[in-house]
Structure 1
Amino acid sequence: MVKEYYDPEVKYMLWDDFQIRHIDDLKLKVKGYSDDECKEFDTTEDILQFYPNFKDFIEQFFAEEELVNSSTRLNYLSNYADTKTYSVVATEQLTGRLHVNENLFKPSPKVMEVLHNATYEDVYLYDLTREDELAVEISKREEISTDHILIHSGSSDVIKTVMSLVLNKGDTVLISAPSWNYYKSIVELKMAKAEYYDVVPGKNSYEFDVSGLMSKARAVSPRIIIITTPHNPTGAVISASDLETIIKENPSSLVIVDEAYLGFSEQKFDVRHLLAAYSNVVFSRTFSKLYGLAGIRVGYGLCAPMAKQVFRLDVNPFRVNNISRKMAVAALRDEKYYKGLLKDITESRNFFINEMNSISGVKAFDSAANFVFIHFSENTDVQALKDYLAQNGYLVRLWTEGSRLAMRVTLDRKETMEKVVALMKEFLEK
């Protein structure tokens, strides 16, 4: 007789996570299916492309929901009935997390010293000092006034604040394809429209189609243009001259430069020049990636002083928490540690790319970030490969490009990437 029980954590758990947790108890047999037999649907739009009549079910479902909830529905939120929430996939796994672009090399030990030395005042007092210590530290490094620096709780919040205040209903936002879906979720929240320009595969790396971007901008007159560099998910970078051309020739558009992966390569823009020469650009940065501080939620924006005053309208009147900002300052000051970390990441990245490219039917693209984007031959079951890696403790992310499934793999230390390469080869050689 099977004993039934209820575990509240299971409600939010993916089947892969549940199977990994009970891998010794749940013995599974693997059966492969071709792409014609098995499809993966990540969004409602994916289902509709495969089965257009699914819209009838959706309409019926929401009609029934509206009937059931008509007496209690919140009319003041009716404008957002069709708005989708951006969310990340929950996982209980603490190792093998090669799917969310965390810095798996860990932050500077000096960051942890801040925690150990925290005082009661750090906890119970608001920081009401005239200057924000973190903004001052950034100011020294960028050689710009703190009037240009907007401290926020992560770069995602910088982007959301800027887009929320700039966008109006019906405006157009120009986003790269492929791209981080978070941008589109904000566009939908503001009842605006998303248009796309391409980031395309070149010989060894992905490249920004700048001429295509400029052509699309002329056609749709976007309120906002988003440039993610290094680019997620491909690791591509845009040149300084191309970026300045986009800013200069689109004076009616706000150009948001998302630099979340800044520091994983030698590429860096002359931010001081761009902010002095143009008022229609905002840079968004984070301490989550290079500095490995994703858990404490700190980021910042760089923009014109007048723009900062407006963006502050959407920011909490009290600063990002005291301890988080002190940890960010400690990270900025430990340049020696992060120089060594960058050396280790570069070594791991070069090793992984070279090893993957030694496998027949595999193309790993050069990257300026802490992840690598990979194409496989048409006869490769990429979904099955992802599942095989998960069964062995490593989570990766798949991206759909037209009819192709590509894979993005976050970098860990070389010894971990050696294990991932071995598993990849083992699967692909079957």
Structure 2
Amino acid sequence: MSIDDKVRSIVKEFKAYVPGKSKEEIARNYGIDPERIIKLGSNENPWGCSPKIEEKLINEVSNLHQYPQPINPELMDEISKFTKIPVENIIVGGDGADEVIDNIMRILIDEGDEVIIPIPTFTQYAISAKIHGANIKWAKFDEENGFKLDVESVLNNITEKTKAIFLCTPNNPTGNVIPTEDIKKIVESTDALVMIDHAYIEYSKEEYDLTSWALKYDNVLILRTFSKVFGLAGQRVGYGVTSKKVVDYMMRIKPIFSLTRASQVSAITALLDKEFFEKCLKEGIESREEIYNGLKKFKQLEVYPTEANYMLVKVKNGMNSSEFCEALLKKGVIVRDCYSFEGLEPYYFRVSIGTSEENERFLKIMSEIVE
């Protein structure tokens, strides 16, 4: 009997996750100087992380032979101050928000339970739900209506078997927020856990931040991350904000030491360096407007409004998204081909914010390809 006969059938159905391409991969495949490559495909902070983190990490090296604290009180306290949420309502994950997603599926899902996911959206929701035995009920962000959430497509899928509903706002990859009244309608229509993914909420207007709802509703869990504006995508720190009861259940099955000493120190320092945070946020929003206004000038593209640090673009010059993204790669520009997102036609790509210099070069290269 081979390993193929032992692997679960559900695993065999999965396609491998398609991450954004790295500079090293493009340099190797196309013979391009890595210093000339513009990476705008993974929704990262182009200004990096707080410069104060380097010194803190160096000081932490002598402690790396010791296990980290399962719950770091300083980190919990700083997250609490940042979110204005009590420590007892916060759970931190060591693989970004992905760990929180996976852990909530582990405590909720029995074989045959249902999870509602509007598409197109972040692909990890479906992967985690399916591997734990859930049946996926697909709702939709309406393409013909600017990818506005079709609320009825969510409500009509709610049954007694519904255990969780995922709502990404701002949504990845479309960049738009879900109106608060629509989320309220969903939350109050069910006792299923509504997962509101706020990975990019810092880039949005304050009125769209629903983190406080975790204290208002027992069936709400807010997902947050350090991977975006804090510039710590490489340290994999995410957290959930929810009821104390849900936190208690998740702590029973959470990997105890998933958050490393290095990631804890990095996250604490990032939260304390408020000046760098505000700088990145301000320049990130300016960069977003710069790219958006630049792309809007091309008649062969349709650019969607966004409240995140990226935007969705539809190609209308006769090329599909893979052909278009390949042309960009040959010129040293990495964007995200969205062909792998369920619910999108093969004409979309996603572009992240860059520095002013990167944006200028990107738009110049875009003009060469589009026209």
TM-score by length of 1: 0.76
Distance 1:402 1:307, change over 3 A: closer
Instruction: Report the equivalent of 1:296.
Output: 235
List gaps (5 residues or longer) in structure 1. 1-69
Deviation at residue 73 of structure 1 after TM alignment: 3.9
| 2:152 matches 1:211 | yes
Aligned residues: 354
CA contact under 8 A between 1:240 and 1:269: conserved in structure 2? Answer: no
Separation (CA, whole Å) in 1 of partners of 2:106 and 2:70 = 28
C-alpha separation in 2, matches of 1:123 and 1:366: 44
Identity value in percent:
26
Shift of residue 319, structure 1, vs aligned partner: 6.1
In structure 2, the gaps of 5 or more residues are: 26-33
Say yes or no: does 1:158 pair with 2:86: no
Corresponding residue for 1:123? 64
| C-alpha distance in 2 between matches for 1:311 and 1:353 | 40
**1:283 maps to which residue?**
222
- Contact 1:372 1:409 (8 Å CA) reproduced: yes
Pair member with larger Rg: 1
Q: Give the superposed CA RMSD.
A: 2.4
Quote how far apart the aligned CAs of 1:201 are: 4.3
Q: Which residue matches 1:10? A: none
Does the aligned pair in 2 maintain the 1:83–1:188 contact within 8 Å?
A: no
**Scaled by the length of structure 2, what TM-score is found?**
0.87
Query: Residues 170 and 191 of structure 1 are in contact (CA less than 8 Å); yes or no, is this contact kept in structure 2?
Result: yes
1:51 corresponding residue in structure 2: none
Which segment drifts farther, 241-250 or 90-99?
Answer: 90-99
- Please report how far the alpha carbon of residue 148 of structure 1 lies from its aligned counterpart in structure 2 after TM superposition: 0.8
Conserved 8 A contact 1:173-1:222: yes
Rounded to whole Å, the distance in 1 between the matches of 2:301 and 2:153 is: 28
Q: Residue 14 of structure 2 corresponds to which residue in structure 1?
A: 84
AA in 2 matched with 1:246: I
Cα distance in structure 1, aligned partners of 2:71 and 2:140: 44
| Residue 234 (1) aligns with residue 174 (2) | yes
Per-residue CA shift, 1:138-182, capped at 9, x if unaligned? 112333321111111111111111112211111221112111222
Aligned counterpart for 2:109 among listed residues 167, 178, 182:
167
CA offset digits 1:305-324 (Å, max 9, x no partner): 11111111221234622221
Runs of 4+ with deviation above 6 angstroms: none
Are the structure 2 counterparts of residues 382 and 87 from structure 1 closer, same or farther at C-alpha, using a change threshold of 3 Å?
Answer: closer
- Alignment correspondent of 1:373: 312
Kept in 1, the 8 Å contact 2:115–2:136? The answer is: yes
Q: Following superposition of structure 1 onto structure 2, how do residues 191-210 of structure 1 map, counting pairs within 5 Å?
A: 191-201=133-143, 206-210=147-151
Q: 1:399 to 1:128 in 2, by over 3 A?
A: closer
- Which whole-Å CA distance do the structure 2 matches of 1:296 and 1:402 have between them? 30
Once structures 1 and 2 are overlaid, which stretch shifts more, 148-157 or 333-342? 333-342
Q: 1:136 to 1:84 in 2, by over 3 A?
A: same
Aligned position for 1:132: 73
Tell whether the 8 Å contact from 1:86 to 1:181 is kept in structure 2 after alignment.
no
User: What pairs up with 1:39-54 in 2 under 5 angstroms?
Assistant: none
In 2 relative to 1, CA 333–206 (structure 1 residues): closer, same or farther, beyond 3 Å? farther
What is the CA–CA distance in structure 1 between the aligned matches of 2:70 and 2:9, rounded to whole Å?
Answer: 41
| Alpha-carbon separation, structure 1, partners of 2:82 and 2:100 | 20
Q: Is the CA contact (8 Å cut-off) linking 2:57 and 2:265 kept in structure 1?
A: no
Q: CA deviation digits over 1:175-231, x for unaligned, max 9?
A: 12111222221122123221222223477x54222233223336x852210011111
Counterpart of 1:99 in structure 2 is 41
CA positional deviation for 1:81:
5.2
State the alpha-carbon separation in 1 of the partners of residues 69 and 317 from structure 2.
Answer: 59
Q: State the AA in 1 paired with 2:369.
A: F
Could you report, residue by residue, the CA deviation over 1:31-74 in whole angstroms, capped at 9, with x for unpaired residues?
A: xxxxxxxxxxxxxxxxxxxxxxxxxxxxxxxxxxxxxxx2x447
Give the superposition deviation at 1:127: 4.5
